């Protein structure tokens, strides 16, 4: 018997930072489950290419270019789409950056960049979208946390702090908004082969360490995050709230 639990037909999903990498893969996965996709990034050119790619695969896609760390731009973009195109049913807060440096040498400017893109934006976009979801009495928000929401690694302490914040902001969003019919959860990816991790992928020592540290003995493939996103965006997760699901090949399960 066919189930409709994971069917996203008729739903619209906004994915931030989705012109490439994990964000684009998540958008593609949600689109394959029937959702109409709204891609967000700062680059209009990259967004155009991403929209064209999804369209060639039969997925309806729109672009919404704005800087997720600019609260005024976020609010204006969300309001314009809701008024001109239609309601946003699913939000994936994916936009993120990385800066690497020993903590004692980490610059204040880099600290602020990491916080505003990785953590502030989750609040800005989440609040702007939730204000439209709440009167409708339904909505799915998926925040992209990280393995670093639980465990630190040398030279990325600010990223660890920001992603720890994403995990706990997810709990806070649930505490405030579940009463209105919203489900807010997070996905914590382990190590995936993405442009953000390119320097690590090309480092033989780190590559060897990562594979030996991961029970699955490999890097993750970005399409392997799609199933968890579809689950959290669909009716299958209607009583799942405030949770972070780690997709990490078993890293957190073992010493």
Residues known to be catalytic: 159
Rounded to an integer, what distance in angstroms lies between the CA atom of residue 51 and that of residue 66?
Answer: 15
Q: Provide the 8-state DSSP code for 180.
A: G
Does residue 91 contact residue 18 with C-beta atoms inside 8 Å?
no
Angle between helices 44-56 and 21-32 (to 10 degrees): 30
Nearest-CA neighbor of 149 among 133, 127, 171? 171
Sequence-distant (≥ 6) Cβ neighbours of residue 151 within 8 angstroms: 160, 251, 252
Q: 3-state class of 187 per DSSP?
A: strand
Nearest-5° Cα angle at 175, 224 to 113: 60
Q: How far is CA 1 from CA 5, 8, 54, 227, 233, in A?
A: 12, 18, 29, 20, 22
């Amino acid at each position: 018997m066919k189930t409709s639990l994971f069917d996203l037909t008729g739903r619209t999903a906004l994915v931030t930072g989705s012109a490439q990498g994990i964000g684009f893969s998540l958008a593609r996965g949600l689109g394959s489950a029937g959702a109409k996709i709204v891609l967000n990034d700062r680059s209009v050119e990259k967004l155009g290419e991403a929209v064209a790619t999804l369209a060639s695969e039969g997925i309806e896609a729109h672009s919404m270019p704005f800087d997720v760390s600019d609260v005024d731009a976020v609010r204006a973009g969300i309001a314009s789409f809701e008024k001109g195109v239609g309601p946003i049913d699913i939000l994936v807060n994916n936009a993120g950056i990385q800066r690497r440096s020993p903590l004692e040498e980490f610059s204040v400017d880099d600290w602020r960049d990491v916080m505003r893109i990785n953590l502030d934006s989750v609040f800005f976009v989440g609040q702007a979208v939730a204000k439209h979801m709440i009167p409708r009495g339904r909505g799915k928000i998926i925040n992209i946390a990280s393995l670093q929401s639980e465990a630190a690694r040398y030279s990325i302490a600010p990223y660890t702090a920001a992603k720890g914040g994403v995990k706990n902001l997810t709990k806070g969003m649930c505490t405030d908004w579940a009463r209105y019919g919203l489900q807010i959860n997070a996905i914590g990816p382990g190590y995936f082969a993405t442009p953000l991790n390119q320097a690590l992928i090309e480092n033989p020592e780190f590559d060897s360490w990562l594979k030996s540290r991961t029970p699955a003995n490999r890097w993750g493939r970005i399409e392997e995050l799609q199933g968890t996103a579809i689950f959290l965006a669909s009716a299958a997760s209607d009583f799942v709230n405030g949770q972070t699901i780690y997709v990490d090949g078993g890293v957190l399960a073992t010493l």
